[in-house]
Structure 1
């Protein structure tokens, strides 16, 4: 990527947000690869260097040039190794919290920590400007192949920003009509009696749980989870529920590329307590599929009066499905931590979900200043998800009363 390529709309929005309001570490995307055994550390760092060469997006920065924003090469991506003499968690945290120079770069780094004889942790951190959730799979897969000496098929160079602009231009008139009749400022979201309005990014905490919800005919697991979240928010006192959802915009030609291919869009509903969970979830699915038609179009392009923000609404969801087991590093016992906390949150509550061979892992990132009892939120969501998928024909009010220990009271008409 030697020529200056256009940024995508998501990169443009993220860069503007960083310039105007800042995001702290909310856009830091960490990944840990635990490696036990006789590791060839120099070979691994050489594989990291080859990975950066294969995926030049990792070495890019965003600059103002030619009347717009362009991607150009930044400072060299650092590949370092260190021996940990104190706590491993503290060393990892330090790497995650270390800031990025958005103007000069680099926007990614690899740090190999030796934690004990024949025990290492590779800490990778990238800024969201050049990396997304699916990129984690690409990175670990290609890194393992490079370390193992496996041949790699060259990747075609694509100006993703220019290609995206053509797609968005074709969809924009219809998208404007679509959102004009549907988008409204959601105002506050009530959570455990607390009114949430935050669209900022700030310090966050994290807790997680693993779920194995039963399959619901006609629904994907993501649709089921989103419906359960909307029902729970209805139970907390929200007649109209709006959450933001991160949708992939990755085209086929970018399937093997590292980069940022995500668009955050709102999904709204008005759960009726007398209807069954299944009936509501099917209707929510239909509405979600309508939003999918315009997943390539950023909301701010269709509704340009929306101000720069780190979070579109207080509660948001990202969901990624992994079908394969963790890649194999020859001669090593390797495991990957896919949902590592960046110690920040965009908005008040963000659910980062990875649905893989080990089950559905839901990581709740939350602002402790406004979410007073995140553990209860996690417990309520897990229980509601379990009960709703076990008996999806049950009415919503019955599910809520059972889940919320009969403390739920419907809003007055």
Structure 2
């Protein structure tokens, strides 16, 4: 019978690798809760309309990348390609909004997009996500950026670049879109890639987000958003920049940074690394003040957030993440199997963690395995220990001591 293999673009994360993800999740929990964020767990499956309305019908995510299918009642469902839309849906559906109330949430888990698998990019991937609702002030933007920096620092990442831009608002964005459209219409349309030719008519801003070297070169002299900001957007962005500069966060301004999803406005940002090949972005986000209303919520609920790609972060983590254990119980005589198992259980009841052998092996094999699982001590149950009611304790440090004592005396 043929073996059943995993689907292309997904991964099995065994303990050595999943420990990296657990490490990032714990760091996120510690950092985000220190800023007043609470954990929100949202469904993996949502109605397809949620992502079409929030992300945008003309985005690559909706057009090409979503896993969408009809259920048994012919309702169109989609496996979430990102977390923000689901969090906003939960926020609106559960009527969280109250005038003057600020709500902060974080979540993490698997997302799904049909893309070409490569280093740091999978079809089932994982994100850490944080969102804040009800704060329109630039101080909220600055705090989100500083919290993201604190999280990345907590997991030991240093060689990163923060890139910022302002995408304007519904007041100034249309004027910029027209200026950009005029510029694009002055080009030879046929020289742009097929996606950009389509975007020129549906969402010209997305042309600036194209990864094609040719399209980048053709649009090198395109008008920039910062030059078309209204007074309020300019003041907002200048305040954000001043705050993070005062806090010591280094950044660069990138006038071509537009993000890939339609709901962003005003502050947009991306964190990149040059150490993971072509896929340089490890985190990104921005402000999306109109999204709550567009999904049926109250008007004028400001919001801002970010997401981190855990697969890409995992590529940047230094060192190994092998589990450390307090003990290993070695069984050298089958007659002592019961004593060995009960001794291990007593150790665990006393707050220690470790493993016990189920079958007798040579001491060389036991000690090799104790080293492999990074056990601090090895407790040996052999023929002498069985006959005398004792246990031998070996310190696994190099040149560690070895002592023998009565079985029950260890716990006194």
Shorter chain as normaliser: what TM range?
under 0.3
**TM-score of the two chains, using structure 1 as the length reference:** 0.27
Bigger share in strand: 1
Quick check: which one's helix share is greater? 2
| Greater Rg over alpha carbons, structure | 2
Higher relative contact order (CA 8 A, sep 6+): 1
